[in-house]
């Protein structure tokens, strides 16, 4: 049993089947601009997890297009 898990994007992809079994209270994602592509495997894996609260950290939320920003916002609030 643990209170905090610090991991990498690559480990999330590798361990997704195990990680999605956990009811996560909060996830903080650094370098969130890596989720800018709606079809990236990392984003798909995170969407499979039960995440009560999500926090995205990035210095560049908008790099090339508004669609990239939409991808981040859609991850935070998929019903909107």
> Is 69 part of any domain?
yes
> Is 1 part of any domain?
no
> Is 3 part of any domain?
no
> Is 57 part of any domain?
yes
Sign of CA pseudo-dihedral 42, 47, 50, 51: positive
> Is 2 part of any domain?
no
Helices in 5-65 by DSSP H: which ranges?
9-19, 41-47
Q: Say if residue 2's pLDDT is above 80.
A: no
> Is 43 part of any domain?
yes
> Is 62 part of any domain?
yes
Reported pTM: 0.81
Predicted confidence (pLDDT) per residue in 7-61, tens digit = 888 888 899 899 899 899 999 999 988 888 888 888 888 888 889 999 999 888 7
**Total domain count for the chain?**
1
> Is 4 part of any domain?
no
Range of the domain at 48: 9-15+23-76
């Amino acid at each position: 049993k643990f209170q905090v898990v610090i991991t990498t994007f690559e480990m999330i992809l590798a361990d997704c089947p195990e990680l999605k079994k956990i009811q996560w209270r909060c996830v903080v994602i650094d370098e969130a601009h890596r989720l800018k592509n709606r079809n990236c495997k990392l984003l798909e894996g995170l969407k499979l997890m039960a995440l009560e609260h999500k926090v995205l950290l990035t210095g560049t939320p908008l790099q090339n297009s508004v669609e990239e920003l939409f991808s981040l916002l859609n991850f935070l609030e998929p019903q909107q």
